[in-house]
Amino acid sequence: MTSKQKQVDYKQRFAALQQRFIGTLTTKADRLCQLAKAIAQGEQSFLAEVIADSHQLSGSCGTFGQKSLGDLASGIEQTAIALQNSEPHSDRTLQLLIELTEHFQRNVASVIDTALNTPVVKQAAEQENNLIWLLLNDALLTDDLSRQLSAFGYSIEVFTDFSACCQALDAISPALIYSAVELDATAGSVFKQTDLLKAMQEKQIPWMLYSPSDDFDLRILAARHQAQAFYVSPLDIPAMLGRITELMQLKSEQKGRVCVMDDDALLAEHYALTLQAAGIECMVLAEPRQLIQDILHFQPELILMDLHMPLYSGPELAGVIRQHDALKSLPIVYLSAERDQAQQLKAMAFGADDFMTKPIDDAQLVKVVQVRLARSRELRNLIEKDSLTGLIKHSAIKEVAQLEFERAKRSGKNVSVVMLDIDHFKSVNDKYGHAIGDVVITTLATMLQQRIRRTDKAGRYGGEEFLLVLPNCGRQDAMPMLETILESFRSIVFHAAGQDFYCTFSAGVACSDADFSDAEAMLAAADERLYQAKSLGRNRVLA
Ligand SMILES: Nc1nc2c(ncn2[C@@H]2O[C@H](COP(=O)(O)OP(=O)(O)OP(=O)(O)O)[C@@H](O)[C@H]2O)c(=O)[nH]1
């Protein structure tokens, strides 16, 4: 599906959901009126139902574009609570409750037509692209960067002045802009290009800066204009490539996985749709008793949980989640129409990390979730990722291989693993030094990370040895992918001690279709093929 089709699809799904919600309002309003009248006739037990129903409506109406109805529902809830607390029941409060429920009913009737005819415009799914715009004042550097970035599979467009770049932004959005602080003396600094800066910010295009000298004032200006990186001459190309890959991934890939639990099914669906439209994978947890299995299966990075639910409360379910070692650090954020801060804090004490008050604005929901996801990912990366390359550490990538091997056995699909080792790496270290050796390792790591699919995993297996785990991938798919990576890697020019040099790697592939007894056996087979690739002269991939 193209991104434009996706956008239309989300619009239609939001509109359909809103109509379904509005379709339930008349019954809910009628029920509130009937309950209030029954309370007036002595059926005190209905008071709890009025509180629960109006509480739910006060949380959901705003989300579906009916803020004034949400405020009215909140008024009904407060009045019903006041009535519950008055002993004996105050006649005036009871009368007020009846009037408010009738008022709510009339308002439902009057907004229904308008709401049904109001189109819902939602955030569009982002277009994925790999286009980088370069705006540099050094032709040699531009050529060098273009070549190196192309080797990483990026498309490059070069601009020589700010205004042409600004004009082009009207028609198309690149995935990243890399610009010099100054292009030439007449154009002046990029910080004076207000139209360009405004357009980049509006389109949320990641922006990296290059400066011929390190200057604190320039760094402050860059931070003020939200540049994501600032590189100073001489350019550390591998570090810069790593940052580019990171920014591109942030924009197009790791959008995160979230579970939503809310007893209001339509509201849960709305939250899920809102997050999905922003590219975040989302699963609605509908069955509390299935909660742990669903979470373990979906592997979310965050849980959004309603506080008050009829069978089990949010804190109770959070307690159950925290009983499982694997889920101890999974962030939980409560979503609730509860406005009482004391209640909110009490709920937080039961293993949750944050609290959001309903109704929640869609953009705010997406922002809060994105910030939370980024933070928890940073923490996880510290634990699981290798500090030099940013790839998964040895033990973790072995676990991935094990998990995918078992998954492949269950599903009948193939998984391939690749052992990959840089050729004659010792001589790189010996000739140019350990630091340059590190540059070669990080460059290959960046390239692997950037070239594999989202579902694939790359790990640093040893010093200059890497392990790739490729689910749903047979030998015939793995081979061309690795050949392309090898071709790109061998075309990268490294500079050290006034010389240019090139590197290659050897790789061995094993696929689960060869009927291995376990993941260890499959890894040993890939290692064996790697050894053969080395003996046959290196610079090749063997399956
Ligand atoms: N710079 C750097 N070097 C490392 C790192 N980890 C391991 N090495 C070096 O990698 C080299 C590996 O060399 P060998 O295993 O002999 O293999 P090779 O020279 O790559 O030769 P072949 O694999 O046979 O092509 C050793 O010199 C290690 O010191 C690291 O993190 N950084």
- How many angstroms does the Cα of residue 444 sit away from the middle of ligand 1? 14
- Let me know whether 135 and 267 are in one domain: no
DSSP state of 158: E
Per DSSP, the three-state class of 404 is helix
Q: Which of 30, 111, 121 is nearest to 69 (CA)?
A: 111
With a 6 A CB cut-off, is 536 part of the ligand 1 pocket? no
Quick: pLDDT tens for 316-325.
Answer: 899 899 888 8
Strand partners, 428: none
If you take atom 29 of ligand 1, which residue's CA is the nearest one?
Answer: 426
Domain end residue (candidates: 384, 402, 429): 384
Q: From ligand 1's centre to the CA of 154, what distance in Å?
A: 29
Collapsing DSSP to helix, strand or coil, 68 comes out as helix
The whole-angstrom distance between residue 277's C-alpha and the CA centroid of its chain comes to 11
Spans of the chain below 70 pLDDT: 1-8, 88, 113-128, 249-254
In this prediction the ipTM stands at 0.94
Q: Tell me, what CATH number does 85's domain have?
A: 1.20.120.160
The number of angstroms, rounded, from the C-alpha of 160 to the middle of its chain's C-alpha atoms is 34
CA distance linking residue 500 with residue 483, whole number of Å: 23
What CATH number corresponds to the domain at position 273?
Answer: 3.40.50.2300
State whether the beta carbon of 441 lies less than 6 angstroms from ligand 1: yes
- Helix, strand, or coil here: 237? helix
Would you state the pLDDT for residue 243?
A: 80
For residue 255, the SS3 value is: coil
Ligand 1: does its nearest atom lie under 6 Å from the Cβ of 438?
A: yes
Q: Whose CA is nearest to atom 12 of ligand 1?
A: 426
Whether 400 and 262 share a structural domain: no
pLDDT value at position 60?
Answer: 87
Domain annotation covers residue 515:
yes
Closest CA to 463 of 438, 481, 443, 487: 438
Residue 521: Cβ within 10 Å count = 13
**Ligand 1 centre and the CA of 387: distance in Å?**
17
Asked if residue 245 lies in contact with residue 152, where contact means CB atoms within 8 angstroms, the answer is yes
Q: Is any atom of ligand 1 closer than 6 Å to the C-beta of 386? A: no
Close Cβ partners of 362 (under 8 Å, ≥ 6 residues apart): 63, 122, 123, 274
26 lies in the same domain as 75: yes
443 within ligand 1 shell (Cβ under 6 A):
no
Mutate to test the pocket of ligand 1, among 389, 393, 426 (most ligand atoms within 8 A of CB): 426
Let me know whether 518 and 402 are in one domain. yes
CATH number of the structural domain spanning residue 491: 3.30.70.270
Assess if residue 123 is contained within a domain.
Answer: no
Among 420, 423, 429, residue to substitute to test ligand 1 (most atoms within 8 Å of Cβ): 429
Q: How far is the CA of 439 from the centre of ligand 1 (A)?
A: 13
Distance CA 68, CA 28 (A): 16
Q: What is the pLDDT of residue 261?
A: 93
DSSP characters over 506-520:
EEEEEEGGG--SSHH
- Which residues does residue 180 pair with via DSSP β-bridges, in sequence order? 210
Instruction: Indicate whether 241 belongs to any domain.
Output: yes
Instruction: Let me know whether 406 and 537 are in one domain.
Output: yes
Q: Where is the domain boundary, 252, 279, 306? A: 252
CA distance 341 to 344: 5
Q: Helix, strand, or coil here: 179?
A: strand
Other C-beta atoms within 10 Å of 387: how many? 9
Among residues 486, 480, 509, the alpha carbon closest in space to that of 418 is found at 509
Task: Check residue 164 and report its DSSP letter.
Answer: H
Distance 426 CA to ligand 1 centre (A): 5
| CB-CB neighbours of 332 under 10 Å | 24
pLDDT the model gives residue 492 = 87
528, 429: one domain = yes
| Statement to judge: residues 411 and 534 lie in one domain | yes
Bridge partner residues of 257 (DSSP)? 281
User: 197 and 141: one domain?
Assistant: yes
Q: Would you state the structure tokens that stand for residue 437, as one six-digit string?
A: 């050796």
467 close to 418: Cβ distance less than 8 angstroms:
yes
- pLDDT score at 138: 87
Distance 105 CA to ligand 1 centre (A): 75
Q: Reduce the DSSP state of residue 182 to 3 states and report it.
A: strand
HSE-CB at 173 with a 13 A cutoff on CA atoms is 15
Give the closest residue (by CA) to ligand 1 atom 11.
426
Ligand 1 atom with the smallest distance to the CA of 438 is 1
Pocket lining: 421 vs ligand 1, CB cutoff 6 Å? yes
pLDDT digits (tens, 9 = 90+) for 13-54: 887 888 788 888 888 999 999 999 998 888 888 999 999 999
Is there a domain that residue 197 lies in?
A: yes
Q: Please tell me the total number of residues recorded for the chain in this structure.
A: 543
Residue 166 covered by a domain: yes
Q: Do the beta carbons of residue 7 and residue 15 sit within 8 Å?
A: no
Q: pLDDT value at position 321? A: 92
Which residue's alpha carbon is nearest to atom 32 within ligand 1? 438
State how far the alpha carbon of 137 is from the alpha carbons of 97, 204, 286, in Å: 71, 24, 57
Name the closest-CA residue to atom 5, ligand 1: 463
Same domain, 398 and 535: yes
Residue 395: per-residue pLDDT: 87
Evaluate whether residue 530 is within a structural domain.
yes
Write down the pLDDT at residue 508: 97
Indicate whether 122 belongs to any domain.
no
Per the structure, the count of domains in the chain is 4
Under 8 Å CB-to-CB from 150, ≥6 apart: which residues? 156
Q: How far apart are CA 169 and CA 210, in angstroms?
A: 20
Q: Give yes or no for residue 534 CB within 6 A of ligand 1.
A: yes
Residue 121 lies in a domain: no
Ligand 1 contact, 531 CB (< 6 A): no
Give the Cα separation of 508 and 538 in Å (integer): 11
Q: Which contacts of 354-357 are long-range, i.e. CB under 8 A and separated by 24 or more positions?
A: 356/304
Q: Which two tokens stand for residue 58?
A: 């006060």
Residues 242, 273 within the same domain = no
Q: Which domain holds residue 280?
A: 257-384
- Residues 415 and 523 both lie in one domain: yes
Residue 223 is predicted with a pLDDT of 92
Q: What's the CA-to-centroid distance between 381 and ligand 1, angstroms?
A: 25
Q: In the listed set 69, 93, 116, which residue is the last one of a domain according to the structure? A: 116
Q: What is the pLDDT of residue 215?
A: 92
Residues 240 and 261 in one domain: no
First to last CA, the chain: 33
463 CA closest ligand 1 atom index: 6
